[in-house]
Every structure is written in structure tokens, then in C-alpha cells.
Amino acid sequence: MRAFIDFYNSSVGKKLIVGLTGLLLISYLVIHLFGNLLIFRADGGEAFDTYAEVLPQIVVIRIIEIGLFLLFILHIITAAYTWILNKAARGDAYKIQKKNETSKVTSRTMFLTGSIVFIFLVVHMRQFWFNSRYEATEGYSMFEVVRATFSNPVYGAFYIVAMFLLGFHLKHGFQSACQTFGIRTKNYVSFIDLIGIVVWLLIPLGFASMPLYFLLYF
């Protein structure tokens, strides 16, 4: 325990925790996305409804769910803590600092994009997860809920914007985690950037395709 506290207290330790939890959350996003793609099956939502119904009945899934909550909490709290420490480390601010000439905007806005994604997450969980788990009545159809929600232009747009910002967050986050784990060496930079495109472009695009689909076709 002592060793863990020392590790957590060190700056590099905190970075490693944010990076590790981030990478695990990305792998969750991939699974989540693949499951949700069932929504595009032209069967009136039957397959998707079955998927949504069966999934929570599996014990392992319920255990993983708890782990997932803990991951999110650890990621968010540690990142917020480092943000506070970093603000304090500057002291007096520069009167002029040309940050755009030295770093990318995605790398400087992780706290902002992360916060907005967090707000999205709360709304998203309330809308889909809490609803189906605790307020479902007889004949509850997840597909119908998704259709009704995404056909609402306000919610659909909110969802798409949130996915755009998630892409922003992942664009820096993925390669940054690789750097923190020390695997972003000269030989691997281009490879990591390539995988990064899948992560920051395809994942959010995949999720955004769902509200887009319902907005356009229903």
C-alpha cells in the first residue's frame, strides 16, 4: 500500500494512472461501439433489443460494469488533480505567451474536452443506462428509446457535438498515453499515429453515425 501511495503521489505515477485508465476506457469504447452497431440491422430493432436485454443478465458483465465505473472515477479524479497541480505550478501567468506556435490545441484543452465529455456521459447514462436498468416497464424496447431520443434534433446534435469533442480528447489522449508508457519511441511514432486515427476518428465517427442515422431517416 505504501508503495502505491508513493507511486500515486509522484507526478509520473499519476500520469501513468491517467494513461492506463484512459487506454482501458478506449478499449471499452471499442466493445461498446461494436455492440451498438446492431442497431443498423434492418429488423426493426429486434436484434438490438435482445442484445440490450440479455447483456445485463450476464453476471460477468455486471462485474465488469463496476470495474468500468471505478476506471472512470480514477481517470477523472486523477486528471482533475493533476490539472489543479499544474495550474499552481505556473504561479504568475505570462502576459504574452504564443502557445499556438509551440503546441497543438488538442493537447492544451484536455481538461475542457474531458469535462464536456463527462457532462455528456452523465446525460447519456441517465437517458439510456439508468432508464433501462431501473425504470423499464413491461414491453420496454431499447430500440424505441434510442429512436425517440435520437430523432430529437436537440439531443441528436448534442450527441454529435459530444462525439466530436471526444475525438478531440482522444486525439491527444491516445498518443499521450503511449508516450507516458514509454512506447512512443522513434520507430513507433508513425505506427502509433496510425492506430491513433482509428481511435480518435473512427470511434467517435461510429458513435455519431447513430444519431445521424435516426435524424436523417426517421
What does the binding site for other proteins look like in residue numbers (CB under 8 A)? 3, 7, 9-16, 82, 85-86, 88-99, 101-104, 107-108, 110, 172, 175-176, 179-186
Cβ count within 10 A of residue 178:
21
Closer Cβ to other proteins, 27 or 97, answer by number: 97
Exposure class string for 63-80: b at 16+ Cβ within 10 A, else e: eeeeeeeebbebbbebbe
Least separation in angstroms between CB 62 and other proteins = 30
Q: Which is nearer to other proteins, 45 or 173 (CB)?
A: 173
Kindly give the interhelix angle for 153-180 and 11-36, rounded to the nearest 10 degrees: 140
Q: Which is nearer to other proteins, 147 or 184 (CB)?
A: 184
The answer to whether the CB of 65 falls within 8 A of the CB of 1 is no
- Residue 10 Cα distances to 13, 85, 131, 169, 193, angstroms: 5, 12, 40, 24, 28
The distance of closest approach from Cβ of residue 180 to other proteins in the complex, given in angstroms and rounded to an integer, is: 6
Q: Which of 149, 145, 171 is nearest to 160 (CA)?
A: 149
- Which CB sits closer to other proteins, 21 or 175? 175
Least separation, in Å, of the C-beta of 112 and other proteins? 13
CB of 40 to other proteins, least distance (A): 36
